[in-house]
Structure 1
Amino acid sequence: MSNLFTMCFIENNNQLLLQKRMKKPFIGLWNAPGGKVEAYESPIEACKREVQEETGLDLGKVHFRGVITVTNKSRKKSDALMLFHSREFSGDIRSSEEGEVAWVETEKIYSYDNTPPSFIYLLPYILETDGILTGKMVYNKGILEMFDININI
């Protein structure tokens, strides 16, 4: 069975909003906010809801950036991850039970050792390209074995 999830890259000048995850996957690592698409919810509605619940921000315009499959070989399961990007928001950030949130200078993120490798691979595609992304990530026992992405312009 597959599930549909969202991930939103929120930019503020030269900073990106990150969340230190309190739940699996990537517990204890910094990542972009997002979560599961619930019944009767569109992916963009889920994106906005998850960001508001997890960070306190209300998103304005949100750009769809693509979809990638995330496969866990040991569980023989694939999920779809819908990618979004926004520079428009209101409100003040606040941490939640999902994890601590903070604005981090984008250039510093690339040298962090406390972000998932997949996030570091994905980040330049989100921030430095304009096309729609499609691709896949394959994990085996928590280790990223494959990251394959295409840009559709």
Structure 2
Amino acid sequence: MSKVFTMCFVENNNQVLLQRRVKKPFKGLWNAPGGKVEAFESPLEACKREIQEETGLAIENVSFRGIMTVTNENQKRSDVLMLFHTKEVSGILSSSDEGEVAWVETEKIYSYENTPESFTYLLPYILETDSTLTGKIIYNKKRIEIFDINI
């Protein structure tokens, strides 16, 4: 059975909120915060909840930015990744047991080796366009085999 996940790109001036993951996938890498959509919860509700739980921040005026399917070659299913973006954030940034969080300058992220390849592929579409995205990411042995995105 497929699972539905959220990923929220939180932007503040020339910085993006990143979280160093303590769980698979991408354990030890910096990625946008998010997580699993729980029962009786909309993707937007899940996005806001995950940001609050994982970073201590409240987000508002969240925009739905797209949907991607994510598959590992050895899986027989694709998971669904719902993409969100906001520039409106309040509260005090704090790390959680889900991982350390930090504001990182956007330009540094593109050359930073400790972010997942898929994150750096998605980031310019999220930050530099207002379009809704759809596509798929297929992994083979933890490396991207196919990254297909449509605007």
Fold equivalence (TM over 0.5) = yes
Q: Does 1:69 align with 2:64?
A: no
Q: Which residue of 2 aligns with 1:81?
A: 81
Q: Which residue of 2 aligns with 1:48?
A: 48
Q: Which residue of 2 aligns with 1:110?
A: 110
Aligned-partner SS, 2:118 = helix
Rounded to whole Å, the distance in 2 between the matches of 1:7 and 1:145 is 21
Matches within 5 A, 1:1-153: 1-151=1-151
Aligned-partner SS, 1:65 = strand
How many residue pairs get aligned? The number is 151
- Residue 73 of structure 1 and its aligned partner are, at CA, apart by 1.1
Residue identity over aligned pairs, in percent, reads 74
Rounded to whole Å, the distance in 1 between the matches of 2:101 and 2:47 is 16
- Residue 108 of structure 1 and its aligned partner are, at CA, apart by 0.3
Q: 1:86 is matched by which residue type in structure 2? A: T
Q: 2:101 is matched by which residue type in structure 1? A: V
Q: 2:133 is matched by which residue type in structure 1? A: L
- Residue 76 of structure 1 and its aligned partner are, at CA, apart by 2.3
- Residue 5 of structure 1 and its aligned partner are, at CA, apart by 0.3
Q: 1:82 is matched by which residue type in structure 2? A: M
Rounded to whole Å, the distance in 1 between the matches of 2:125 and 2:66 is 10
Q: What do residues 48-96 of structure 1 show as CA deviations (whole Å, max 9, x unaligned)? A: 0000000000111100000000011112221000000001111011000
Q: 1:108 is matched by which residue type in structure 2? A: K
Aligned-partner SS, 1:49 = helix
Runs of 4+ residues deviating >4 angstroms: none
Rounded to whole Å, the distance in 1 between the matches of 2:101 and 2:141 is 27
Unaligned stretches of 5+ in structure 2? none
Rounded to whole Å, the distance in 2 between the matches of 1:149 and 1:3 is 20
Q: What do residues 77-126 of structure 1 show as CA deviations (whole Å, max 9, x unaligned)? A: 21000000001111011000100000000000000000000001010000
Q: What do residues 37-58 of structure 1 show as CA deviations (whole Å, max 9, x unaligned)? A: 0000000000000000000001
- Residue 141 of structure 1 and its aligned partner are, at CA, apart by 1.9
Q: 1:150 is matched by which residue type in structure 2? A: N
Unaligned stretches of 5+ in structure 1? none
User: CA RMSD, aligned part only?
Assistant: 0.6
